[in-house]
Amino acid sequence: MNFKKLFSISLFMLVVLTLSSFQLSSKIEKKVNKEIKKAFDISDFLLKPVKVPMKLNGELSIVFTEDNFFEIKENEGVVGYAFVDKAPSKTAEFDYLVLLDKDLIIKKAKVLIYREEYGGEIASTRWLKQFIGKTEHSSLVYRKDIAAISGATISVRSMTNAVNSVLKSIGILRNNKIL
């Protein structure tokens, strides 16, 4: 098989795999891609779903699926990981993103979509900076490690609990050689 044909087939397979590999809504996917580009200072990357065995998922404090947990790859190397999920607020849910570097240290936390009338301050970059640098060994405590926000108590606690769950689960995945 000649090189040109092999390259075309490989490129086609990569596109098919990329398009069929995860189920983020297009709105969320655009926001996730934008945050990855900014946080990692990269323009071309691939989100590769991470497979977590169902049995192991039962041990995790939050569910990791091929639809919400991804390796961020650039030039065939892993530069980090992205976890996307929803967390409860007072009457609805909000979508959030946690980006980890290749050493599994939080590089960025982001509220992607907040659906409440009040409490949207949890989406502020200044407040979310509290999560940067946290690892699987971190245990974040509301009002001790994480600042309260008047009018957003439920959302602040929810985001804090969500990040704690992600970090605890990351530790379990690392110990089980998934990461």
Q: What is the pLDDT of residue 9?
A: 44
Residues 62/86, Cβ–Cβ less than 8 Å: no
Distance CA 146, CA 156 (A): 8
Q: What is the pLDDT of residue 2?
A: 53
Only one residue has tokens 């996730």, namely 32
Strand runs labelled E in 60-136: 69-74, 77-88, 93-101, 106-113
CA–CA distances in Å: residue 103 to residues 22, 50, 63, 157: 23, 16, 21, 26
**At 119, which amino acid appears?**
G
Q: What is the pLDDT of residue 5?
A: 44
Distance CA 173, CA 56 (A): 8
Along the 179 residues of the chain, how does pLDDT read in single tens digits? Answer: 554 444 444 444 443 343 334 467 889 999 999 999 999 999 999 999 999 999 999 999 999 999 999 999 999 899 999 999 999 999 999 999 999 999 999 999 999 999 999 889 999 999 999 999 999 999 999 999 999 999 899 999 999 999 999 999 999 999 999 99
Query: What is the pTM for the complete model shown?
Result: 0.85
Measured at the alpha carbon of residue 57, what is the angle toward residues 76 and 170, in degrees to the nearest 5? Answer: 55
Residues 83/24, Cβ–Cβ less than 8 Å: no
Q: Rounded to 5 degrees, what are φ and ψ at 36?
A: -65, -45
Residues 111/159, Cβ–Cβ less than 8 Å: yes
